[in-house]
Amino acid sequence: MNKTLTTIFALAVASVTALSHAQETKGDVKAGEKKIAMCIGCHGIPGYQASFPEIHKVPMISGQSGAYIASALDAYRKGDRKHPTMRGIADSLTDQDIADVAAYYAQHGKAGAAELPAKPKREPSVQVAELLKKGACVSCHGDNFAKPIDPSYPHIAGQHADYLFVALKSYKAEKNANVGRSNAIMAGVAKQFTNAELKALANYLGSLEGDMHTVPQSRFR
């Protein structure tokens, strides 16, 4: 194992403990259902696109890991994730609000969903296979890139490719007040790749079968 991967794995192990606070407050699904008004205007509309920092579809969060949603909102609140809109939303939430919203979206739209296979049905190209190996993506995001080794890591299979590309690039951003994500693990991974390589990764991961959805709210149908 090369030095970069050794460092990434060491950081991953350390982060399991560091991010455990995201799971300490128990969320209530019913309470969360009453707290999502500020979420559904973007995440409850299929195909909805954001325009910052560039045009891309907003991520699917229904069916995403609740612990990941909680840790992401906490990171926006702390400023570890720089995004003016999400920072403003996260700042308005208490720890209990975050736990409730995360619990709601973790189960949202999952009723009757089939179990994903352990291995993606679509094989990557030779180039992408090498990139996945170099980034050791499966070591954290798990089987089919949808069974992460820690619940505070995201499911990424089937996520919108253009969002994944923007997210991956954000880990490379430095000294920008409005764009960037402070995560030593992902920064170490993303900085190994050119933007063209990150786009190839994002396109492959986005093409896979996933367990996340955009569930339209009745008011938007």
Residue pLDDT, tens place only, 170-199: 999 999 999 999 999 999 999 999 999 999
Distances from the Cα of 165 to the Cα of 34, 59, 107, 169, 205, angstroms: 32, 11, 26, 6, 10
Q: What is the pLDDT of residues 9-53, one digit of tens each?
A: 555 554 544 454 445 799 999 999 999 999 999 999 999 999 999
pLDDT by residue (tens digit) across 96-125?
999 999 999 999 988 777 888 889 999 999
Percent pLDDT > 90 in the chain is 81
pLDDT of residue 152: 96
3-state secondary structure at position 83: coil
Please tell me the predicted confidence (pLDDT) of residue 117. Answer: 87
| pLDDT computed for residue 43 by the predictor | 97
Residue 68 confidence (pLDDT) above 90: yes
Q: Give the pLDDT score at 175.
A: 92
Alpha carbons 134 and 163: distance in angstroms, whole number: 21
Q: Supply the pLDDT for residue 112.
A: 72
The pLDDT tens digits for 70-87 are 999 999 999 999 999 999
pLDDT at 17: 45
**Torsion from C-alpha of 86, 92, 93, 94, nearest 10 degrees:** 140
Cα–Cα distances in angstroms (integers) from residue 44 to residues 9, 63, 72, in the given order:
35, 13, 18
**For position 4, what pLDDT does the model report?**
55
117-138, pLDDT tens digit by residue? 889 999 999 999 999 999 999 9
| Percent of the chain residues topping a pLDDT of 70 | 88
